Amino acid sequence: MKHYKGEVSTLPPDKSISHRAALIGAIAEGTTEIWNFSAGFDNQSTLGVLQDCGISILQEEITAENGTVVRKVVIDSNGLWNLTKPEKQLMCNNSGSTMRMFSGILAAQPFESVLVGDSSLMKRPMRRLADPLRMMGAEVELSPGDTAPVVIRGTRSLHPVSYELPVPSAQVKSLVAFAALHAGGESHIIESLPSRNHTELMLGLKVENLPGGKRSVVVPGRMTVPAKPFHIPGDPSAACFIIALGLLSAGSEILLREVCLNPTRTGYLDILQKAGAEIRLENIRQTGGEKIGDIQVSYSQSMNPVRISDSAVVANVIDEIPMLAVLSACATGEFELHNAAELRAKESDRISAVVNNLERLGFACEEFADGFAVVGKVAAAKGRIPVESYDDHRIAMSFAIADRVLDADLEISDAEIIGVSFPKFHDIIESLEQ
Ligand code: S3P
């Protein structure tokens, strides 16, 4: 059986922070340098739509003395209203973050734009972006099923809002913040469950604690955003796949360097540690407003099943649930999830995607409206087993890890979708393989 040893210092740069750095660069005054920008297809989609709106972007790969290659992106802008009307539809490909977060900026532009995506993105819910932007005075049209194409007729005179998020979503919080920066007064964005807070940190927005545990992000209108450099840390949501591989393969020891450890993203590390995983955080420090550090992972023979039902925890680990489920199933034969209906609105319906694939591997599962349970392994996985990626990078990667740790022979459909967030996924794993 293979095991995995060594150091990873080239995790993909964080996808969420990369999107935001590019979008902020497009509305900042001056030149924004972004160091270690992600080569993932999703982040490249954000650069593409900004360029289609006339934003000047240079991208180069710089080789450091130790041979590692860093992608540097330089964005020039002139403040909030530097975009020009696109001559074509804005293609967001597979990226919900691009479509949703960019819509907040487009709502403040005095022109019409049309956002489209691939077949997965064209099925995802977009009412959540239309509602707040309409309240602020932009015209937004969706398809009859409240999906894309999203047509936005923006205005330079957006109204400020006080908006309480109907679902815990950092994308929605961010798109309202981007629109509110352009508005004619102070806005308040209220969330009852904490979602990732990179936008607040990167823009230096004030956050107030409200009674009942709610938080309000305060956005001053017509805000000047001074250009500043960003250094993107490693993506914890990508790290989780390598961590799962190390925890489940006997004899493995892996050190992941420079990972973003923002507490709104690391709930999955707490869950795994509580389940008995040997994970140590080292060299913890603060850079550019974000907590970062190294993660040391050792093979963990005796883990307990993972069970998740608290809505606040679900919001924190929303992107890692497919891997947590597959990991817990492989380690213990069990897993349980509730209060996670939002998972059905991701790049795929991640509840039925994980259940269908685990059943093909011989696990017994029960599916609920808002979650699922894995209740044991009933049949041994034998021979070549087809599993579906469902055009979803996180599903493809979760089952690529299962393939290795179960020593199975899985045939994952359209596995190139992994490039959405982790183009060097296979290279990194092969570099660790012993
Ligand atoms: C993201 C927020 C989450 C997450 C997505 C990235 C972000 O989506 O699933 O991968 O960068 O803000 P929601 O805001 O829809 O929960």
- The reply to whether 190 and 327 lie within a common domain is no
Decide whether any atom of ligand 1 lies within 6 Å of the 319 Cβ.
yes
Q: What Rg do the C-alpha atoms of the chain give, in angstroms?
A: 21
Residue 210 lies in a domain: yes
**Which residues lie closer than 8 Å to 60 by C-beta, 6 or more apart?**
71, 72
- The reply to whether 209 and 240 lie within a common domain is no
pLDDT at residue 381 is higher than 80: no
What's the CA-to-centroid distance between 170 and ligand 1, angstroms? 6
What's the CA-to-centroid distance between 165 and ligand 1, angstroms? 13
**Residue type for position 45:** S
Q: What is the pLDDT of residue 5?
A: 98
pLDDT at residue 136 is higher than 90: yes
Residue 5 lies in a domain: no
Decide whether any atom of ligand 1 lies within 6 Å of the 217 Cβ.
no
Distance, CA of 216 to CA of 236 (rounded, Å): 25
Q: What is the pLDDT of residue 387?
A: 97
**Which residues lie closer than 8 Å to 224 by C-beta, 6 or more apart?**
29, 79, 80
Q: Over the chain, what is the mean pLDDT?
A: 97
Pairing of strands 306-308, 335-337: parallel
Distance, CA of 99 to CA of 19 (rounded, Å): 11
CA distance readout (Å), 379 to 303, 361, 382: 21, 8, 9
CA distance readout (Å), 296 to 259, 279, 291, 422: 11, 6, 16, 20
How many residues are present in the chain? 434
Cα four-point dihedral sign 216, 219, 220, 225:
positive
Note the pLDDT tens digit of each residue in 318-343. 999 999 999 999 999 999 999 999 99
Neighbours of 148 (CB within 10 A): 24
Residue 227 lies in a domain: no
Among residues 16, 386, 74, the alpha carbon closest in space to that of 200 is found at 16
pLDDT at residue 380 is higher than 80: no
Tell me if 313 sits within 8 A of 358, measured CB to CB: no
- The reply to whether 120 and 253 lie within a common domain is no
Residue 257 lies in a domain: yes
- Tokens 């992941």 appear where? 256
- The reply to whether 32 and 162 lie within a common domain is yes
Last residue of a domain, one of 170, 190, 218: 218
What's the CA-to-centroid distance between 340 and ligand 1, angstroms? 14
For the chain, the straight-line distance linking the first and the last C-alpha, in angstroms and rounded, comes to: 9
- The alpha-helical segments, DSSP class H, found in 184-304 are 198-203, 236-248, 267-274
Find the mean pLDDT for residues 230-240.
Answer: 98
Residue 223 lies in a domain: no
Decide whether any atom of ligand 1 lies within 6 Å of the 238 Cβ.
no
Last residue of a domain, one of 218, 248, 267: 218
- The reply to whether 299 and 181 lie within a common domain is no
- The reply to whether 308 and 188 lie within a common domain is no
- The reply to whether 412 and 328 lie within a common domain is yes
Last residue of a domain, one of 218, 243, 270: 218
Note the pLDDT tens digit of each residue in 5-58. 999 999 999 999 999 999 999 999 999 999 999 999 999 999 999 999 999 999
Q: Which residues are catalytic?
A: 319
What CATH number has the domain bearing residue 325? 3.65.10.10
Residue 225 lies in a domain: no
- The reply to whether 203 and 136 lie within a common domain is yes
In eight-state DSSP terms, residue 199 is H
What's the CA-to-centroid distance between 64 and ligand 1, angstroms? 31
Residue 3 lies in a domain: no
Structural domain that includes position 289: 233-432
- The reply to whether 411 and 353 lie within a common domain is yes
Q: Which of 171, 175, 260, 420 to mutate to test the pocket of ligand 1 (most atoms within 8 A of CB)?
A: 171
Q: What is the pLDDT of residue 138?
A: 98
Decide whether any atom of ligand 1 lies within 6 Å of the 197 Cβ.
no
Q: What is the pLDDT of residue 64?
A: 82
Q: Which of 16, 42, 97, 240 to mutate to test the pocket of ligand 1 (most atoms within 8 A of CB)?
A: 97
Q: What is the pLDDT of residue 108?
A: 98
Q: Whose CA is nearest to atom 10 of ligand 1?
A: 319
Helix, strand, coil shares, percent, the chain, to 5: 35, 30, 35
* Two tokens, residue 371: 């979650």
Decide whether any atom of ligand 1 lies within 6 Å of the 265 Cβ.
no
Question: Which pLDDT band holds residue 241 (cuts at 50, 70, 90)?
Answer: very high
> How many domains is the chain built from?
2
- The reply to whether 209 and 74 lie within a common domain is yes
- The reply to whether 372 and 406 lie within a common domain is yes
For 232, how many CA atoms within 13 A lie in the half-sphere containing its CB?
29
* Two tokens, residue 421: 């967030």
Question: Which pLDDT band holds residue 382 (cuts at 50, 70, 90)?
Answer: confident
Q: What atom of ligand 1 comes closest to residue 19's alpha carbon?
A: 11
Tell me if 223 sits within 8 A of 199, measured CB to CB: no
Residue 151 lies in a domain: yes
Question: Which pLDDT band holds residue 433 (cuts at 50, 70, 90)?
Answer: very high
Q: Model pTM?
A: 0.98
- The reply to whether 51 and 98 lie within a common domain is yes
